Amino acid sequence: MHTKTIVELSQGLKDKDFSCVELTQHYLNRINQSDLNAFITVTDELALVQAQVADDKIALGNASILTGIPYAHKDIFCTKGVKTSAGSKMLDTFVSPYDATVSQKLNQADLVMLGKTNMDEFAMGSSNENSFYGAVKNPWNRLKIPGGSSGGSAASVAGGLSCFATGTDTGGSIRQPSSLCGITGLKPTYGRISRYGMIAYASSLDQAGPMTKTAQDAAIVLNVMAGFDEKDSTSAEQKVPDYTSNLNNSIKGLTIGLPKEFFSSGLGDEVASNIMVAIKKFEAMGAIVKEVSLPNSAYAIPAYYIVAPCECSSNLSRLDGVRYGYRAKDVENLEDLYLRSRSEGFGEEVKRRIMIGTYALSAGYYDAYYLKAQKVRHLISDDFKKVFEQVDVIMGPVSPTTAFDLGSVKDPVSMYLADIYTLSANLAGLPGMSIPAGFAQNLPVGLQLIGNYWSESRLLNIAHQFQLQTDWHLKTPQEC
């Protein structure tokens, strides 16, 4: 059952091949026997209650395609009555008194939440080694990273511990782990999904999205997650289409842009060859390929690592041991309380980014760093606008390499380079996807699709057509 898609499981429930309670118990058994460390919290009792409610609805004929489907929820979304830690010691004891809008929508769809998935602390990381709860392992090779920061969500889907999962993408955190774990991940246009109740890392970059086995499943989940929310001032009042309605449209005549900057010397040879084979498949389906240029994409990493730390230093300032978060014991005075609570509560990567952001925003440095980074961000956005006057979609690699060894990258700057092909879409607010497109040394390779604003439906159509012609998305790890 754990290798089936949403569409297949929904049909199985409808045909009474198995009940939702049986399906949920199957996944819970797999989670409890797993060594991937993909979950921080497993909500056994809640899941079985939700499964029984779903069974009752199915029996009454009131079910939708998502009724009773078990999923995993990234531990960055607030869930009423359930621990929400964001992978941090700072929030280790926090039980949310309310639901995030995304959580609320998933509950209303009668889905079954299996638990909350492991993640890099406050979504800061590219490998999922920065969690207070320990590193997550890649289901394809337990010695490799799953990618970050939604690594627990990616590992849960690839490892057969959930049918799909939620993720968030600030600099590539849905697409990069999806690529390294061989699943389908979609980061929608900024503002497409409400950020209300999603613990903020960098507010102008964060975006939630689905992580699934197929593009068709991603379309089904996005139908539920997307939409305007008056509780989120950055939520867009854009009409939400039925994302499943255009999946079967032909892509003949599609114009694909290949940015020459995405195929530079830093790209691994085996990754590059897999990407080009995938591009050839699109050409065989009637697409037209042309080289394009994103001349300012080289500045995406320095711009991102000014903008994001600046915003995180502000967002995390409330976690001081007084108003929110971990509180140090046996303090000597108020200053000692602040200092020790934040020093003991935050991990090394979070503290590094808070210090970078605080420095960049300090008096005398704002214009030199933050303002300049925002100007670069504008140039990157303009590059995309010019390219989308020539092509329908941009394609390229998600990550320069396949999953690397756990603990093998010690230098923070080297780690930041893992997101070199994904950051620019976040800075511009564009939608992006990762879909399985091959293997190198027995590890998955992801193909990245970047579309124009609000083109999620077109991206899902392109990805679905590719998955009708290939079987990379059907591959499963040997131990799963």
Three-state DSSP at 213 gives coil
Strand partners, 226: 193
Helix or strand or coil: residue 141? strand
Crossing angle of helices 6-14 and 20-33, rounded to 10°: 140
d(CA 287, CA 384): 20
Note the helical H segments in 61-167: 101-108, 151-158
Q: What is the CA radius of gyration of the chain?
A: 21
CA distance 424 to 132: 28
39 in helix, strand or coil? Answer: strand
Longest dimension (CA), the chain: 71
User: ∠150-34-445 over CA atoms, to 5°?
Assistant: 45
Which position among 173, 178, 179, 341 bears the catalytic label?
173
Least Cα distance to 211 among 149, 124, 130 occurs for: 149
- Label residue 192 exposed, middle or buried (CB < 10 Å: 0-12, 13-18, 19+): buried
Q: How far apart are CA 40 and CA 349, in angstroms?
A: 19
Q: Which helix (H) or strand (E) holds 397?
A: strand 393-397
User: How far apart are the C-alpha atoms of 225 and 66, rounded to whole Å?
Assistant: 12
Q: Which of 127, 149, 313, 457 is catalytic?
A: 149
Secondary element (H or E) of residue 209: strand 208-212
The two tokens of residue 259 are 């940015």
> In sequence order, what are the residues at sequence separation of 6 or more whose Cβ sits closer than 8 angstroms to the Cβ of residue 232?
101, 194, 195, 196
The length of the chain, given as a count of residues: 480
Catalytic residue among 19, 74, 96, 153: 74
Phi, psi of 395 (to 5 degrees): -130, 155
Angstrom distance (rounded) from CA 65 to CA 13: 10
Helix (H) or strand (E) holding 32: helix 20-33
149 is an active site residue: yes
The string of DSSP codes covering 256-293 is EEEEGGGGSTTS-HHHHHHHHHHHHHHHHTT-EEEEE-
What are the two backbone dihedrals, phi and then psi, of residue 460, each rounded to the nearest 5 degrees?
A: -65, -35
Q: Is 173 known to be catalytic?
A: yes
Cα separation, 314 vs 292, in Å, equals: 37
> Which residue numbers are catalytic?
74, 149, 173
